[in-house]
């Protein structure tokens, strides 16, 4: 089975729109990918995929990243 995803940005943005909040974490997006979109990966692989794609979108300027206070986690928002 091919594990590559065609057009991964569309999966990420669809999950962000489905979340419907201004701020979200990569774990929120990974949960939506598995539950809602039947993403054929384990939760840890989905988290890694989501994190890598979100970092790519941050570098391109489509998302902004803010570190959460007291937790080693980032909160993302659309720009």
- Domain range enclosing 70: 8-78
The answer to the question of residue 3 being in a domain is no
The answer to the question of residue 2 being in a domain is no
Taking only the tens place, the pLDDT of each residue in 14-71 is 999 999 888 999 999 999 989 988 877 788 888 899 999 999 999 999 999 998 887 7
The answer to the question of residue 28 being in a domain is yes
- CA-CA distance, 68 to 73, in Å (whole number)? 6
Q: In the 3-class helix/strand/coil scheme, how is 14-51 assigned residue by residue?
A: HHHHHHCCCEECHHHHHHHHHHCCCCCCCHHHHHHHHH
The answer to the question of residue 1 being in a domain is no
Average pLDDT for 5-12: 83
Residue 71 backbone dihedrals phi, psi, to 5 degrees: -130, 140
Q: Domain total for the chain?
A: 1
pTM, whole model, 2 decimals? 0.81
């Amino acid at each position: 089975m091919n594990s590559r995803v065609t057009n991964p940005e569309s999966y990420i943005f669809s999950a962000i729109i489905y979340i419907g909040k201004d701020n979200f974490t990569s774990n929120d997006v990974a949960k939506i990918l598995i539950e809602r979109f039947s993403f054929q990966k384990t939760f840890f692989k989905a988290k890694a995929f989501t994190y890598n794609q979100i970092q790519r979108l941050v570098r391109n300027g489509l998302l902004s990243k803010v570190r959460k206070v007291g937790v080693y986690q980032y909160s993302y928002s659309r720009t």
